[in-house]
Amino acid sequence: MSGPRNRYLNSRLQGFTSTIFAEMSALAVRTGSINLGQGFPDTDGSPEVLDAAIRAIREGRNQYPPGPGVPELRNAIAAHQHHWYGLTYDPDTEVLVTVGATEAIAAALLALCETGDEVVTFEPYYDSYAAGIAMAGAHRRTVTLRAPAYGFDPDELRAAVTDRTRLLLVNSPHNPTGAVFDREQLEQIAAVAIERDLLVVTDEVYEHMTFDGRAHVPMATLPGMRERTVTISSAGKTFSVTGWKIGWVCAPPDLLAAVRTAKQFLTFTGGAPFQPAIAAGLALPEQFYLDLAAGLQDKRDQLCDALSAAGFEVFRPAGTYFVTADVRPLGYDDGVAFCRELPERCGVVAVPNVGFYDDQQAGAPLVRFAFCKRPEILAEAAERLLTLAR
């Protein structure tokens, strides 16, 4: 959410000109820095999944797939929800394949909100939430997650809900803080949703990236929530193929049909050969998922230790690809200025968190580093970051 006013851009989108991720990745390329900004892994996904995509291309699966997604992928998504969470979804009426979670989020907001409705979300929030809410003509109200654990005050959540509130937009495991809401926190959100008869849209793209034995709890598993919850996830993170942009939605039939109505006029469909490949990925044994989380946990520790040694205040994440750190111990109070100088100072790129906040003061001193990189790259980044302490 940055950039100058563009006179052609409509009023809903003023202020959203370029994403901070694109800006920081361009800075990394320009300065030849290690890019710990934008969250994407620097290794390929599992060979089974890559081979399945190549096979699908060779087999001619290159034309428009059905709008809701190919049946084998919808079946695999339903089987995944059942296997991991005991949730039952009908692959024909309750599962929709989208062009990444980004499209799923946009389609849900466009489908479910009336102009002038309010959407309550936690801040910091993933940047596309603000833009999606704005494109839907809705208004966002935020509840601030606070360090060190990045929990929320349930009274603040209750107070953020008004008669205009249409839905709660929830992300756990959470980007950029790495917080993972536990059952009690989810129950507090669910209680508000039920009391005020709200829909809940949950973004669970980091569902398989939780650490230290924590389990991801989907909102839809809580009593009374399945019927009011739109669950969104994506293959990008789980299978290390962020560029494939295969996402999905699970929801009860009427809710799903509403989201599908918006989705079909955004892209209609996408990713023909990648859809069967992700179906193959979802059939991988449990060990694949456990190894993914364990590998990331090691990387989290590697980068967090390095950041602490370099002098940052580090908020060790419970999940995701990301760690948030406070730059004040390094003599800065502005994360944007810090991130602009970091490539020159030590050849590393991070992302300032302030762009994910309405409360600019709360986000000002915070920056986000991605640790989904090879250990040798993290080791090199650690060496470079240590020079900040000297």
Site of interaction with ligand PMP (CB under 6 A) = 39, 100-102, 126, 171, 175, 203, 205, 234, 236, 242, 245, 247
Q: Cβ closer to ligand GLN: 21 or 289? A: 21
| Nearest distance from C-beta of residue 151 to ligand PMP, angstroms | 18
**Integer Cα distance of 245 and 270 in angstroms:** 8
Q: How far is CA 15 from CA 111, 306, 354, 366, in A?
A: 23, 35, 14, 21
Q: Cβ closer to ligand GLN: 39 or 173? A: 39
**Integer Cα distance of 240 and 250 in angstroms:** 21
Indicate the pairing of strand 165-171 with strand 229-234: unpaired
234 touches which of ligand GLN, ligand PMP, none (CB within 5 to 8 A by kind)? Answer: ligand PMP
How many Cα atoms are found within 13 Å in the side-chain-facing hemisphere of 321?
A: 21
Cβ(235)–Cβ(246) under 8 Å? yes
Using rule CB under 6 A, residue 21 touches ligand GLN: yes
| Nearest distance from C-beta of residue 171 to ligand PMP, angstroms | 5
Q: Cβ closer to ligand GLN: 26 or 330? A: 26
Q: What does the block give as tokens for 18?
A: 């370029």
SS3 content of the chain, % helix, strand, coil (to 5): 45, 15, 35
| Nearest distance from C-beta of residue 386 to ligand PMP, angstroms | 28
177 touches which of ligand PMP, ligand GLN, none (CB within 5 to 8 A by kind)? Answer: none
| Nearest distance from C-beta of residue 358 to ligand GLN, angstroms | 18
Which residues ranging from 128 to 187 are in contact with ligand GLN (CB under 6 A)?
175
| Nearest distance from C-beta of residue 242 to ligand PMP, angstroms | 5
* Binder among 35, 38, 185, 210 for ligand GLN (CB under 6 A): 38
Size of the site for ligand GLN (CB under 6 A): 5
Residue 182: Cβ within 10 Å count: 14
Q: Cβ closer to ligand GLN: 38 or 188? A: 38
Cβ(99)–Cβ(247) under 8 Å? yes
Using rule CB under 6 A, residue 281 touches ligand GLN: no
79 burial level (CB within 10 Å; 0-12, 13-18, 19+)? middle
| Nearest distance from C-beta of residue 149 to ligand PMP, angstroms | 18
Using rule CB under 6 A, residue 39 touches ligand GLN: yes
SS3 263: helix
Residue 312's contacts (CB-CB under 8 Å, 6 or more residues apart) are 325, 326, 327, 329, 330
316 touches which of ligand PMP, ligand GLN, none (CB within 5 to 8 A by kind)? Answer: none
Q: Cβ closer to ligand PMP: 100 or 276? A: 100
| Nearest distance from C-beta of residue 293 to ligand PMP, angstroms | 16
Residue type, 238: T
Chain residues in the site for ligand GLN (CB under 6 A):
19, 21, 38-39, 175
